Amino acid sequence: MSGNINKDLSVEHCLLTGVVYDLFQPLHLHDVDFQSTTPDKKYVLYAHHRLYSLNERLKSLTIMYRMLAYEGFPLNTDDGNISRQEWVHITLDTMLSRITSVRDCVYLLVDSIFELQLHPRKVNRKSLIKNESIKEHEHLISLINSITNNGLILRNERDALFHRGERRVLGDNPEIYYIASSMESMGQSDFGTGPEGEKIDLDKEHKSITNVINKEFTESIDELVGFIESICVLLYPVFKKRFIKNMEENGGIHQSAISLIDRAEYYAEYFKSKSEKSQ
């Protein structure tokens, strides 16, 4: 399970991210004011904000592996102990909310690249796929739908927890796990026997539970990141076209900006070709 801790959960390697970040740097160094600057610069600043937020939320998912791998139970605090059963529920709550946050960040990124200017609270799957600017992009719509339906097990669990207050059953013997966890948090180490007279192995049961969650989580986020990478590929030509159009309508083309784009595209193609040759 520890091998997943160093997973690369971001889209910082995508061409869209590289170009937007490169264009953002000179604006950042010159402390450009968002409210008073030109539309082409606003476009870059807003796209950078959404990409940066998305990447940060993706990176925040990696701590889930450390939370699932934690074994120092019970957790001691000045206000009392936290049992391993409570810790698993805390981990699940955090996991489900962060995955939801990633999806929302993707929707907001699409909104920013297409310059839809929807109110953030109204940016969702339905408002995006029904927007006239996006309707012609069938592949993008398909990917937006895929992100919404990503990780069916965790998505259903999220809906059950956040909308109905229903939690997943932990392990094959949830009552024993709950009681043994509570006993452990009160300082006991002998948890008695199970329904068939077997000695209760709390560590083993806990490992079994977290392994299941880890597997579901990994499958879900691997699929999710794949969808997001594909969306970034589709968004890049849209960003480039709109950025250049914004420049043309507001003082003309800046060759320095075009040079940054050309350089990023060159290296993206170079490393792609190098990777393909090595396979």
Say if CB 207 and CB 108 are below 8 A apart: no
pLDDT (0 to 100) of residue 5: 58
CB-based burial, 66-96: b 16+ in 10 Å, e otherwise: ebbeeeebbeeeeeeebbbbbbbbebbeebb
**pLDDT at residue 32 greater than cutoff 90:** no
pLDDT (0 to 100) of residue 9: 85
pLDDT (0 to 100) of residue 28: 76
Question: From the CA atom positions of the chain, what is the Rg in Å?
Answer: 24
To the nearest whole number, what is the mean pLDDT of the chain? 91
| Lowest-confidence pick of 87-101, 186-200, 240-254 | 186-200
Length of the chain: 279
Strands 80-82 and 75-77: antiparallel
pLDDT (0 to 100) of residue 37: 83
**pLDDT at residue 2 greater than cutoff 60:** no
**pLDDT at residue 201 greater than cutoff 70:** yes
Average pLDDT over residues 170-187: 93
pLDDT digits (tens, 9 = 90+) for 118-172: 999 999 999 999 999 999 999 999 999 999 888 777 888 888 888 888 888 999 8
| Lowest-confidence pick of 7-11, 98-102, 131-135 | 7-11
pLDDT (0 to 100) of residue 157: 86
- Is the pTM value of this prediction over 0.75? yes
Nearest alpha-carbon partner for 189 in 197, 177, 201: 201
pLDDT (0 to 100) of residue 6: 61
pLDDT (0 to 100) of residue 4: 63
- Name the token pair of 71: 């074994």
Torsions phi, psi for 118 (to 5 deg):
-75, 155
